[in-house]
A and B are shown apart, each in its own frame.
Chain A
């Protein structure tokens, strides 16, 4: 058996179930919703009988790290095809914060400040747009594009607050009494024997920050299962350990991520935005940063940005960019007077099929975003994740009915084949190479998307994404045309000595104005942690951020993990190894793919382990 990174030399309690599930997001919602409907007969007898407890219904356990279902942050607009198939006649009003998409705009945001780092081509384009603003739909420093490509459209889809949606799904699942979902229960590792996943090990409790037994030590239980379903997302602990154990399929790699950072804002009565309104934005605060605004019912709006891993700049802290995004005149006219209700961030796996792991093996199957289900052409992940869960459930039901074991071959035949032959499988194929061009910049990337989208994947640009530790430019390389090299070195040195990240100083120097804090919506980063939901870090768990080779951190400057940390949980440590404050960690996982130090050239120096706590907000 492979050794999970927990205190193994202790006696552990064990439990045997039929199916153990890791993570509760949209994919697991789809899996459990579909499976739970087939577990019991209408007269109350088991339809799917447990193998480990004969006579009883199938025993299904799902473990979720967050302190309650739906905690964390995500707002989504989705076509909701799979979700609607699972809930025929679905009334959006039944789900808090859900609204049908009524209007959708794709907007190119011009730079009203002049601080954005735009290429010569973009500057020329901006000038042309402004010159012809009398005939183009340009207003409030933005060009409303007249057309949204078919592959990006979400017409008639749903705007969801994913936290509320997950709670709604979880409520129905638990109400059915057929499956059990346990929040506040991080899973430390898969249990692997002879290349077969035989279950999972839960995280130890009652440890010190290094994971050593401490007061009230409770070793994590070993949960054995015939099938382990992994839906723990793009930076999930179990999924990534399986990737290490079994590797990725030939030619696959995970070199594209993005950080999504979002606020849920209560709009003022004068905002003028109707529920169901969707804006997709490009162009500002940096050309590489995409943005969105979705309007929920009750004057709530989700507003956020995506910072991609191919954004070369080492100055990439999301929070300040998000604030400048809010302040763009095109958006601020709607947002002014609003109040922050929730804030958060998460990593998105944007490699699509290129990052797809082995979807099934002996005793396990992968679903959702961590399985590469996101349609990177459509920019759509929720419904695709849900559908992969449904597809696995359908496969599992058939295998159980046929009394066939959960072997690699059987799961390949029943689940992977089903997924490949489905609509989302076909769309994933079309989307597969659509983002290749972004390795060469945003304009090339957009052209590449158009090429792949309009030819339905027949043509695309070539792919040349660097391993993530090499994906970012050096500070001087990026800013030498705007700030003299000696001054850049001085700024970096001064920030290093002060123990702060360099992003604010660099942005100030580049002409970004200071944020006019108003105490309601424009607030400090730390206040966003407190007012946007609050972060909990229960005692008795080991730190989940570990620097594998601390000596590598000594030579790292600027430290990308510190620059990118969504909650300022990572700061420059006294000994050059970043200090980790778990009381600020929102589990976005950005540090994992924002480390420039590497031993193997492909992966960074940071390990993201099982941890408890995180954001306490479901208003998202």
Chain B
């Protein structure tokens, strides 16, 4: 790719996975109890997409990474204080709910609009990244809808690896059943990749990266528009949290096969 890629990562925040969540009914519809008081992290699926984007950008000169995020501004700011230390990107922030009860169609519309409004974005170099799934929005359709609204026909979901060629084409490994990958060749951008876990470790915190990112992160947060998601006509007839049964035991140095077998037996009880 002669001039590098323009990689836009769509990803929001979710409550820290270590927290116990409690759905509640509010006048505005279902929500998570004390959502604004719970610690939050960048959605793990989106995190993988962001790290892959940064890694790709570091390999292909001239590339640039944006992160488009719909989330409560205050919580997004908190999360950015950690995420911004890890990889370089420019934030595009939208102030809206991230409880997981937003309609995927509405979220996708906002994300697509924000992608299209990024100044200087070159569609011929565009790769849209995101999580194949989400730790809160489990429908698994948001990225597909974003791609459709952007008119991107080349979409790949459950991606674990991208290998780019000098001419801009790239090979993609998508997860399929049986623990195998489907190998596809794409002639080049624009394309949309919904990432599974990828292969990269979480980058180290680098204060210099953080300082550079903060020059754009804070202004982006200050000019974040409010998203019209809540009360947009979507009506939930009922919500049911998954049944939880906690039985805790901390075990170390035990073969994973034995742990897996015990879990299977426990589920079967």
- Inter-subunit contact B205/A618 (CB<8 Å): no
User: Which residue, of B18, B82, B250, has the highest number of chain A Cβ atoms within 10 A?
Assistant: B18
Q: Does residue B60 face the partner (Cβ distance < 8 Å to A)?
A: no
- A129 located at the interface, meaning its Cβ lies under 8 Å from any Cβ of chain B in the complex: no
Asked if A526 and B250 make an inter-chain contact with CB atoms under 8 angstroms apart, the answer reads yes
**Contact flags A503-547 to B (C-beta < 8 A → 1, else 0):** 000000000000000010000101100110111101010000000
Known interface pairs A174-B218, A205-B204; A97-B77 also in contact (CB < 8 Å) = no
How far, in angstroms, from A63 to B82 measured CA to CA in the complex? 11
Checking B78, B211, B219, B246 against A167 with a beta-carbon cut-off of 8 angstroms, the contacting residue is: B78
Q: Which of B19, B219, B221, B248 contacts A616 (CB 8 A)?
A: B19
Does A441 touch B at the CB level, under 8 Å? no
- Does A445 count as interface, using CB distance less than 8 angstroms? no
A274 to B167 Cα, complex, angstroms: 68
State whether A202 touches B207 (Cβ < 8 A): yes
CA distance A221 to B207 in the complex (A): 8
Task: Look across to chain B and name the residue whose beta carbon is closest to the beta carbon of A524.
Answer: B248
Q: How many A-B residue pairs have CB under 8 A?
A: 97
The answer on a CB contact under 8 Å between B218 and A185 is: no
Q: Cα distance A144–B29 when bound, in Å?
A: 45
In the bound assembly, the distance between CA atoms of A114 and B218 in angstroms comes to 59
Given A15-B208, A71-B39, A171-B77: A180 and B82 interface contact (C-beta under 8 Å): no
CB–CB A67/B250 < 8 A: no
Q: Is the CB of B20 within 8 A of A531?
A: yes
- A171 lies within 8 A of B218 (CB): no
**Binary contact track B201-223/A, C-beta < 8 Å → 1, others 0:** 11011111011001000110110
Stretch at the interface among B30-38, B113-121, B132-140, B191-199: B30-38
With a CB–CB cut-off of 8 A, which chain A residues contact B204? 205-206, 216, 218, 540
Kindly list chain A residues whose C-beta atoms are within 8 Å of the C-beta of B210.
180, 182
Say whether B82 contacts A184, CB under 8 Å: yes
List residues 563-620 of chain A with CB under 8 A from any CB of chain B: 616-619
By the criterion CB–CB under 8 Å, are B81 and A616 in contact?
no
**A182-B85, A216-B204, A616-B39 are known contacts. Are A527 and B246 too (CB-CB below 8 A)?**
yes
Contacts of B78 in A (CB 8 A): 68-69, 167, 170-171
B263, CB-defined interface residue at 8 Å: no
Contacts A68-B82, A221-B208, A534-B18 given; does A618 touch B37 at CB 8 Å: yes
Q: Which residue of A lies closest to B215 (CB)?
A: A177
Quick check: A177 and B201 within 8 Å, CB to CB? no
Q: Does A190 contact B (CB under 8 A)?
A: no
Contacting residues, chain A, for B219 (C-beta < 8 A): 177
Q: Within the assembled complex, what's the spacing in Å between the Cα atoms of A223 and B206? A: 12
Closest residue on chain B to residue A97 by CB atoms: B37
Does the CB pair A617–B214 fall under 8 Å?
no
Considering the chains assembled together, what is the distance between the CA atoms of A62 and B206 in angstroms?
Answer: 14
Contact residues in B for A170 (Cβ distance below 8 Å): 78, 81
Q: Is A135 an interface residue (CB 8 A)?
A: no
Shortest beta-carbon distance from A71 to chain B in Å: 7
Which residues of chain B have C-beta atoms less than 8 A from A298's C-beta? 34
Residues of B within 8 A of A534 (CB): 16, 18-19
Q: Does B81 lie within 8 Å of A177, measured CB to CB?
A: no
A13 close to B (CB within 8 Å):
yes
* Contacting pair B248 A174 (CB below 8 A): no
Task: Check B77 against A175 for contact (C-beta < 8 Å).
Answer: yes
Count contacts on A: residues with CB < 8 A to the other chain.
Answer: 47
Residues of A within 8 A of B250 (CB): 526
In the complex formed, the residue of A with least CB distance to B82 is A184
Contact B38 A619 (CB under 8 A): yes
Find A185's partner among B39, B202, B207, B246 (CB 8 Å cutoff): B207
Interface residue A22 (Cβ < 8 Å from any Cβ of B): no
Q: For the complex, what is the distance from the CA of A535 to the CA of B250, rounded to whole Å? A: 13
Given contacts A67-B82, A96-B36, A185-B85, is CB(A531)–CB(B246) below 8 Å? yes
CA distance A618 to B75 in the complex (A): 12
CB of A393 within 8 A of chain B? no
The reply to whether B248 and A185 contact each other, CB–CB distance below 8 Å, is no
Q: Which residue of B lies closest to A612 (CB)?
A: B205
Q: Does B260 contact A (CB under 8 A)?
A: no
Query: Binary interface profile of B, 81-117, with partner A (CB < 8 Å = 1, else 0)?
Result: 1100100000000000000000000000000000000
- In chain A, positions 141-199 with a C-beta closer than 8 Å to chain B are 164, 167, 170-171, 174-175, 177, 180-185
**B74 adjacent to chain A (CB < 8 Å):** yes
B residues less than 8 Å from A96 (CB atoms): 36-37
Residues of A within 8 A of B221 (CB): 175
Say yes or no: A536-B18 contact (C-beta < 8 A), given A68-B82, A96-B36, A171-B74.
Answer: yes
Q: How far is the CA of A436 from the CA of B79 in the complex (A)?
A: 45
Q: How far is the CB of B76 from chain A (nearest CB, A)?
A: 11
Which A208-246 residues sit within 8 Å CB-CB of chain B?
Answer: 216, 218, 221, 223
| B residues less than 8 Å from A13 (CB atoms) | 208
Contact yes or no, A617 B207, CB < 8 A = no
* A and B contact pairs by CB, cutoff 8 A, 12 listed: A63-B207, A68-B79, A68-B82, A170-B78, A171-B77, A180-B210, A181-B81, A182-B85, A223-B207, A526-B248, A538-B202, A616-B19
Given A298-B34, A524-B248, 14 other A-B residues pairs in contact with their CB atoms under 8 A: A170-B78, A170-B81, A175-B218, A180-B210, A182-B205, A182-B207, A182-B210, A184-B205, A205-B205, A218-B206, A527-B248, A530-B246, A616-B16, A617-B19
The 7 closest A-B pairs by CB, nearest first: A534-B18, A205-B204, A218-B204, A616-B18, A177-B218, A618-B39, A96-B37
Chain A contact residues, CB within 8 Å of chain B: 13, 15, 61, 63, 67-69, 71, 96-97, 164, 167, 170-171, 174-175, 177, 180-185, 202, 205-206, 216, 218, 221, 223, 298, 519, 524, 526-527, 530-531, 533-536, 538, 540, 616-619
